[in-house]
Structure 1
């Protein structure tokens, strides 16, 4: 029984680690080291509850995303969360294929958002979650999610201005 649970968890972790890492990179504005830490923390917490037959694990992928978001927000509340060893983002090769300039511009714009607003943007527009699902994950009301989403998108538009269309045209 124990081996089958561990095997099932291993399969789950291998299948979801990439998606969790991509979401964590967006949340951390490209800080791949912190993103890796958040994914490991998420998978560690998932392992602890994996064997339990709870309703939370009826959809383990959604639960893992919730754990990731909450881990990120907890990290942001810590006093040392604002410390950064460098202003430079990792090389574009770490980000993977695609337009590096556009990625860096978007990550920089996301970095300027407060952590909860960034979490709302990632959940709503990257993870394609509904307002209600986002509210549940962040322990907010639906109205608060709508308000944060509207404000965050307005800030992103203000920061990016017309420059985003310049990058997207390439």
Structure 2
């Protein structure tokens, strides 16, 4: 890669890392995994920078890479979640805002990877149905049905006891 391309790459990536990290967290619900997803995404973008820099919409291209990386990683057996049998006791109270954030995270975690990806792209990143379909390489109808099912699941889980 030539120096000018490398500088262009670094300028592009440095301005977007935090947004990608927050998006990755919404997808996977774990900061360490989110960092891994962003690292993999940046590596893929670097390897294909000549193609990326000439893309009509670099941000959509990068979002596609991040979303596809998440979906690929979520299918791997080695990434399955392990839980403790006993909850950890804490000696301090948690502010309501954090509890609400944790409730939302718990609700999102209940969704399948594809539904979660669709909802994050549509409602957190504010992509259109068509843009979301293009990023995830699925049909617009699938985006609509996954959105509807995901939102219905979130609504049902939000009103159930314990949430």
TM-score, length of structure 1 as denominator length: 0.82
The match for 2:90 is none
1:39 aligns with 2:29: no
Change (3 A) 1:85 1:60: farther
**Structure 2 residue aligned with 1:22:** 22
Distance in structure 2 (CA, Å) of the matches to 1:86 and 1:19? 31
Equivalence for 2:91: none
Matched residue, 1:69? 67
User: Secondary structure, in 3 states, of the residue corresponding to 1:51?
Assistant: helix
Asked if structure 1 preserves the Cα contact closer than 8 Å seen for 2:52 and 2:58, the reply is no
Within the alignment, does 1:13 sit opposite 2:8 as a pair?
no
Instruction: Summarize the Cα distance change of 1:101–1:26 in structure 2 as closer, same or farther, 3 Å threshold.
Output: same
Following the alignment from structure 1 to structure 2, what is the Cα–Cα distance between the partners of residues 151 and 83? 23
Distance 1:85 1:4, change over 3 A: farther
Residues in 1 aligned to 2:53 and 2:24: alpha-carbon distance in whole angstroms: 25
Flag the 1:52–1:119 CA change in 2: closer, same or farther, 3 A: closer
Secondary structure of the corresponding residue to residue 128 of structure 1: coil
User: What's the offset of the Cα at 1:86?
Assistant: 5.7
C-alpha deviation, 1:52, in angstroms? 3.7
Provide the secondary structure at the position in 2 that maps to 1:58.
coil
Q: 2-side partners of 1:139 and 1:114: how far apart?
A: 17
> 1:112 and 2:110 equivalent?
yes
Structure 2 residue ranges without an equivalent (≥5): 88-95
Gaps of 5+ in 1: 89-97
Report how many aligned residue pairs link the two structures.
Answer: 153
Structure 1 Cα separation of the partners of residues 111 and 160 of structure 2:
18
Mapped partners of 2:33, 2:52: distance in 1: 30
- TM-superposed CA distance for 1:62, in Å, is 1.4
1:53–1:23 Cα change, 3 Å: closer
Q: Is the 8 A contact 2:60 2:135 kept in 1?
A: no
**Residues 86 and 120 (structure 1 numbering): CA distance in 2 closer, same or farther, change over 3 Å?**
farther
